Amino acid sequence: MMIVKINGMDVDADDPCALWQALYAVKLKRLAGEQVAETEIRSPVGQRRLQLASVSLADLDAELNRLRAACERKNGLQRTRFAKGIRWGC
């Protein structure tokens, strides 16, 4: 069992369900504007403000999707979303 610290909490890295919960909390904070560092650069000719984040939301979403699928497999649940094709004949 490997323990990692995410958002100040100790999480079992081998448990996809626990990882999903911890990373989802991180995503909610990011969406609320937390955990975004903002800095300002001033020079004689101008001023620039930068916002920095530790991970992109797209990367976070991809990892959340992967962990959700792993958690569902671990618990024996079927995926609730799937694509179904329908073809109508004339």
Per-residue pLDDT of 30-67, as tens digits, reads 888 776 666 666 767 777 776 666 677 888 899 999 99
Mean per-residue pLDDT over the chain, rounded: 79
Q: Give the C-alpha separation, 58 to 28, whole Å.
A: 13
Show the tokens assigned to 74: 């671990």
Reported as half-sphere exposure (CB side, CA atoms, 13 A), residue 43 has a value of: 5
pLDDT of residue 57: 82
Q: What are phi and psi of 18, to 5 degrees?
A: -65, -40
70-73 contacts, C-beta under 8 A, 24 or more apart: 70/16, 71/16, 71/17, 71/20
Q: Domain residue spans in the chain?
A: 3-74
Q: Which amino acid is at 35?
A: Q
Question: Is the model's pTM score more than 0.75?
Answer: no
Residue that the structure tokens 């996809």 belong to = 16
pLDDT of residue 5: 83
Average pLDDT (6-22) is 87
